[in-house]
Amino acid sequence: MTLVGGILRLAVFGAALVLGAAQAKAVPETYEFTSGSAIISVTDDVGLVGGPITISLNGIAVTVDEELGTLVSMDLSTSGPWILGVDPTRTGGFDTITINSANLSASGGSLFALGGEPRAYEYSIGPVAVISDFDASVSTVPGSNISFGGFPANSPVAGGTLFLDGLGIGAILTLDGITIAQIPVSPIPGASSTNLRVKADFVFEGVQPIPEPHATALFALGAGVVGWATRKQLVRS
């Protein structure tokens, strides 16, 4: 066997190991947060009261099992302060809502394939647990704020779209029209509606972290075999 032929055969063997590592990728797959945003608005029983404004997400992750057709889990978070101006005639005098933080989590969602590339899905998931911390205040009156720390605003179900790139490395998830906070009428005397609802449309972008340990080992093994065999062939020649 010639030197070139031996190297080529070993290279093919190493490539097969690498391919095996790629195919051995474990499911479900977790996509860790890289960037994202949310469009926030405030509504009451009549309509829009304040916003919309666009804020940034801070994390966390989305886990998908394409083989089983499930959105395994979804965790999103944002931290402010994010300030929305609202109509005081609809809130009993308060003209500002400040969102200090919001965290959303859910599990056990279903995926519905739409096809195409990147791979597209619609999904449904719920219930969605929401914990938010926010204040309502009159901007011209210092100390007028009412705090709603840790206020839950759970949603029975949520939905949106999910896109996965061809390599399965990156993901974009949208979450449509979910309530992240509610301000009941009782702390706001004179309000004209039963509740103020802070609603958000989320866009989450994430990537898979470093390869699974077994996949990394196979990649290293494949590269190592090629390098070792190449050196051996060179010595023999």
Give me the pLDDT at residue 10, please: 44
Give me the pLDDT at residue 72, please: 96
Give me the pLDDT at residue 184, please: 67
Q: How many CB atoms within 10 Å of residue 71?
A: 25
Give me the pLDDT at residue 34, please: 93
Residue range 27-210 forms a domain whose CATH class is mainly beta
Give me the pLDDT at residue 169, please: 82
Is the pTM higher than 0.85? no
Mean pLDDT by 10 residues, the chain (237 residues): 48 45 62 94 89 92 94 92 89 86 93 90 91 86 71 74 84 90 61 74 88 46 44 50
Rounded-to-integer distance, Cα 34 and Cα 206, Å: 5
Give me the pLDDT at residue 220, please: 46
Give DSSP secondary structure letters for 204-217: EEEE--SPPHHHHH
**Preceding peptide of 210 cis, ω within 30°:** no
